[in-house]
Amino acid sequence: MGEFDAIIIGAGHNSLACASHLQKRGWSTAIYERNERPGGAVKTLELTQPGFHHDFGAMNLSLFAGSAFHKKYVNELKSAGLEFVPASMCFASVFPDGRWLGVGTDLQATTERIAAFSSRDAERWTALVSAFPQELEAIGGILGSPMSARSVAGNAWKIWRRKGTIGTLELARLLASSPRAWLNANFESEHVKATLAAWGMHLDFAPDIAGGAVFPYLESMANQSFGMVIGRGGARTMISALAGFYEKAGGTLVTDAEVREIITENGTAVGVRLADGSEHRARKAVIANVAPGALVGSLLPGGTGNRSFDSQAGDFTHAPGTMMIHLALDSLPDWAAGEALQTFAYIHLAPSLEIMARTYGQALAGILPDTPVIVVGQPTVLDPTRAPEGKHVLWVQVRVLPANVTGDAGGEIEPADWDALKDRYADRVLDIIERYAPGLGKKILGKAVFSPIDLQREDPNLVGGDQICGSHHLSQNFFFRPVPGYARWNTPVGCLHLVGAATWPGAGVGAASGFMLAQQLAGG
């Protein structure tokens, strides 16, 4: 039996960041991970053919590069092998009419592309970019702080001092607006609106969902202002560096070690029991990086003892599912809209706000969308080490999909479980990409398809293929994430904490929940 100050369940990046900081503050910690490798959905594998390295889940590491944790420990992480590759050509959208629009760090080039659709929109874009540093300071202060009354009041005071009453109310309206409302207020071109709205679909925000405007705003402005980064050799560089840093700091990382139960005594978490029957004690904290439903559904067989918390954790709302398609290619896609598209990290196939809204509604109804939102990542444009010389990998993310299929909007696929229909649906996705990049099928050297249920099998936190571990709608965000009254990573069980994407501040690879909890527990 081992005994530590803190035991962490699951070795996702939030766990590794949390445990690393605790170690640096003098705590003894152990992480127990059910899989053979740390990282959760952040991993890089040879999924198609030898020599082709695919990011299983996250590809964009910009949030981690800009995180408070990375800023504090940049030297240690670099010494542990962390390497980023910058992208100046960040994202683009292609449209059925043969046109395209892309955003990169060259403001003049981006503005000229926008002006081809609307000179008014180009002027508005320039104004938004100019104001972004001040807006980022305000929004970043909110997203980078604990969700406590004191913290929120402090941030509100700072924002009011800087922006005044009108400016503060304008920021509040941005945080509450739907993507469509914000886009309609700022732009006139439907192409420009669709290009930006596609980012909302990454975080469960269809065009008309309140609270979703801030994500397209932040992504578009940040990519314009700072660019994007991916990991050299794959996103695994982030996980391997975190794990190396953690172990060098004296932490204990145990893989192939599934935690079956959290041990409690007198209403306090005191340790864990593994699948092999062994028990390990925690003197100060047990920290679970799990979906809320897993906490009350299995790790705590009798629940927390708080009926309200248990009920709401069990009913935690997950976002629609995602399909991942990984391709090994003989060469890059030949985008019909223009050769310049081969230089972008991401290409969105999300033709209009109307189609995005319809697709979202179809998925919520259990229906396979006829026109899913497709995100095509081209990482080897930036990092050729991920494939043999002259070859490429394609990272294809399909949003949004039902976990349980009851029908098909295309009228072609009979309802069945995902194991039976995933290849047919993947063919639909590839056929859509082929319309924009003719000849893609002939370039494919290898293919790996992961349905929403496959994603959950790989990482139980991806419930129903929900890659963000929980909807970010206003009713389940800020003070309400994951459960009202428990937004500070606490639970009704003493010394038991939750971290990860299901907790504040939500999804992404920014390590924010893990780092902020560690600071809350140990200072620093």
Output the DSSP codes for 267-311: TEEEEEEETTS-EEEEEEEEEE-S-HHHIIIIISTT--S-HHHHH
Q: Rounded to whole angstroms, how far apart are CA atoms 357 and 321?
A: 15
pTM for this structure? 0.96
Q: Rounded to whole angstroms, how far apart are CA atoms 256 and 279?
A: 15
Residue 129: its pLDDT value, please?
A: 98
Residue that is written with structure tokens 């596609």 in the block: 198
Q: In the chain, where does the domain assigned CATH 3.50.50.60 lie? A: 3-42+63-81+234-317+468-522
Residue type (1 letter), 523: G
225-242 confidence digits (pLDDT tens): 999 999 999 999 999 999
Q: Rounded to whole angstroms, how far apart are CA atoms 448 and 86?
A: 27
Coil, helix or strand at residue 104: strand
Q: Is residue 11 predicted with pLDDT exceeding 80?
A: yes
Instruction: Spell out a b/e string for 146-155, using b for 16 or more CB atoms within 10 Å of the CB, else e.
Output: bbeeebeeeb
61-104 confidence digits (pLDDT tens): 999 999 999 999 999 999 999 999 999 999 999 999 999 999 99
Coil, helix or strand at residue 252: strand
Closest-CA residue to 513 (of 5, 39, 147, 151): 147
Contact 507, 203 (CB under 8 A): yes
- pLDDT band of residue 442 (cuts 50, 70, 90) is very high
| Overall size of the chain counted in residues | 524
Q: What angle do CA 123, 126, 130 make, to 5 degrees?
A: 140
Residue that is written with structure tokens 């008309």 in the block: 208
280-336 confidence digits (pLDDT tens): 999 999 999 999 999 998 999 999 999 999 999 999 999 999 999 999 999 999 999
231, β-bridge pairs? 84
384-419 confidence digits (pLDDT tens): 999 999 999 999 999 999 999 999 999 999 999 999
The CATH number that domain 3-42+63-81+234-317+468-522 falls under is: 3.50.50.60
Q: In the chain, where does the domain assigned CATH 3.90.660 lie? A: 320-458
The yes or no reply on domain 320-458 and CATH 3.90.660 is: yes
